[in-house]
Amino acid sequence: MRLNSKGQVTIPANLRRQFGFVEGDEVDVVAEDGQLRIVHREAGKSTGARIVGKMRGRATTEMTTDELMDLLRGD
């Protein structure tokens, strides 16, 4: 990665996915033990919203919506 003239870097897509960063997330850059870390901002989204953000777009299925509803709700 290269730091641009504004002091910005681009986090590679595979790392964003791996660590659950999604568009619109608030992040902090934290200095710790002589290193910088990029972390999710604590006061942002709820835990549930962050989990949904991490999972969004990962599910795959061949089942139809009706089949999924039957599976989840039963008779």
Give pLDDT, residue 31. Answer: 92
Domain regions of the chain by residue span: 13-73
21: closest CA among 50, 47, 60? Answer: 50
Predicted TM-score of the model (pTM): 0.50
Residue-level pLDDT at 9: 92
Q: Mean pLDDT in runs of 10 for the chain (75 residues)?
A: 92 92 87 91 71 80 89 82
C-alpha–C-alpha distance, residues 45 and 47, integer Å: 6
